[in-house]
Structure formats: C-alpha cells, structure tokens
Amino acid sequence: MGVGFNTVLHSAAEAGPERRAKARYPVELRVRYRTLGKKHLAAGIGLTKNMSSHGVLIASRCDLPLGTLVEVSIDWPALLDGAVQLQLVSAGKVVRCDKSSFAVALEKHEYRTMRRWSKAVAPPNCWHEATPLTAH
C-alpha cells in the first residue's frame, strides 16, 4: 500500500515549522545533472525527491562539494501541444549533500523541448544512477 499525497503533507506538517521561504512538493521525476565549470567534473541521472520554485532535492549517489554549480534537466510530465516532451532546465548551486541525495538552490530556469541524452556526455567514472524512491 502506497503513501498518499495527504499523508505526506500531514507528516511534513508534524515535523515542525518549515524554515524554507517556498513550499516544497513531493514529486518523483527523472533528472539529469552535470557540473558547470572545470573544477569538479561530474554528470549523472537521478530522481527528484521534492521541488519548490527555488530548489530541488535529487536522489543520486554523486558526492558533489557544496557550492558546486550544476545544471539540472528534469523530465517534465506535461507535453507541449499535447505531443512534445519538455524538460525543465535549471542552474544553481549545491547547498546540501549526503550519501544518497543532494539539494540545489536554483537561480534560473527555463523549459526546453526534450533532447536525447546518453552516458557519453559524462566524464569517465562520474556517471551515477538513482533507484526509484517508491516501492513497486
């Protein structure tokens, strides 16, 4: 039996006062990310755990240093004109990181039509995949 949306919201409310300025929404979407700049090269795929208009928490094994600039491309569930797949492409800084996820404070974003990605865009030994968050 899965956890319903109302249960998630109720559990979050019981956790205490929210310190973030924007509400976060539990959402699981496929995301691709890559670092920007030359210092810490990494790229991979994961799943969003939650999102707001100014941030996203991504489930992935990649260990990114705080302050790292990243670009994230989220597979958007809505279709353009009912037929064309979209991506929400955002850039921002890593503000939190642990073994299984990292958070990005988003500074700018735009919608783009979806293009195909391959593992070839990632530097060697930097490709990481996340497992789904929900039990099937």
Q: What's the pLDDT tens digit per position in 88-105?
A: 999 999 999 998 999 999
pTM: 0.69
> Hey, which CATH number is domain 24-121, 3.50.50.60, 3.40.50.1360, 2.30.110.10, 3.90.1150.10?
2.30.110.10
> What b/e readout covers 43-64, taking b as 16+ CB neighbours within 10 angstroms?
bbbbbbbbbeebbbbbbbebeb
Domain-wise residue ranges, the chain:
24-121
Q: What's the pLDDT tens digit per position in 41-83?
A: 889 999 999 999 899 999 998 788 999 999 999 999 888 888 8
